[in-house]
Amino acid sequence: MQLRKQVEWGLHCCLTLAELPHDEFLSAKDLALAYRLPKPYLAKALQALSRAGVLAKAMGPMGGYRLARQDNEITVLNIVEAIEGNGPLFQDTGIGKLTTSMTAASLCPINKVMMAAEHEWRAALKITLQDLRASRTIGRK
């Protein structure tokens, strides 16, 4: 499995936006400049985050993006799913039934292990932006 670059970009931008006062916005241009990213591709990620309710968007000269909710209410998983989608990572096509004596009621052992791995992966991504911000400051003076 490989996540798109926009997931990393979205995570970093959300962390930056989490540090702003709640009534302030940063433009896609400013975020792209800060991280040296191509603005058109970053803008698509920011739009996806906005559609998913992770970011709020304001139009106009003072507009831009900010978090739509508190940083303790937004998880890494929310950001990943906003950009990548929330469908299952593994698609069982049923080919195991062609070569084994599995019945329709039994679950393929490959499907079982993949579902378990996905469950653990998603659970690990339930860390909040607040938690990430706190871990960035550990050890700083």
Of 83, 73, 85, 81, give the one whose Cα is nearest residue 128: 73
Tens of pLDDT, residue by residue over 82-105, are 999 988 888 887 777 666 555 555
Are 24 and 66 in contact, with CB atoms under 8 Å apart?
yes
Residue bearing the bigger pLDDT, 15 or 92: 15
CB atoms within 10 A of CB 73: 13
- Provide the residue ranges of all domains of the chain, joining segments of one domain with +: 5-87+129-137
pLDDT at 141 over 80: no
Helical H segments across 19-99, by residue range = 28-35, 39-51, 76-84, 96-99
Judge: domain 5-87+129-137, CATH 1.10.10.10: yes
Tens of pLDDT, residue by residue over 32-41, are 999 999 999 9
Are 65 and 57 in contact, with CB atoms under 8 Å apart?
yes
